Chains A and B, each alone.
Chain A
Amino acid sequence: ETGVTQSPTHLIKTRGQQVTLRCSSQSGHNTVSWYQQALGQGPQFIFQYYREEENGRGNFPPRFSGLQFPNYSSELNVNALELDDSALYLCASSPWTRAETQYFGPGTRLLVL
Chain B
Amino acid sequence: GIQVEQSPPDLILQEGANSTLRCNFSDSVNNLQWFHQNPWGQLINLFYIPSGTKQNGRLSATTVATERYSLLYISSSQTTDSGVYFCAVFVYKLSFGAGTTVTVRA
Please give, as numbers and ranges, the residues of chain A lying within 8 Å of B93 by CB-CB distance: 33, 45, 48, 56, 58
Instruction: Write the nearest CB–CB distance from B68 to chain A, whole angstroms.
Output: 17
- Tell whether A104 pairs with B42 under 8 Å between CB atoms, given A41-B98, A42-B86, A42-B97: yes
Chain A residues, CB < 8 A from B42? 104, 106-107
Interface status of A78 (Cβ within 8 A of chain B): no
A109 part of interface (Cβ distance < 8 Å): yes
Most buried by A among B88, B94, B98: B94
- The CA-CA distance from A78 to B2 in the complex, in Å, is 27
Query: A residues touching B (Cβ–Cβ < 8 Å)?
Result: 2, 33, 35, 37, 40-45, 48, 56, 58, 88, 90, 92, 99-104, 106-107, 109
| Cα distance, A109 to B41, chains bound together (Å) | 9
Residues of A within 8 A of B48 (CB): 100-101
Contact B96 A42, beta carbon cutoff 8 Å: yes
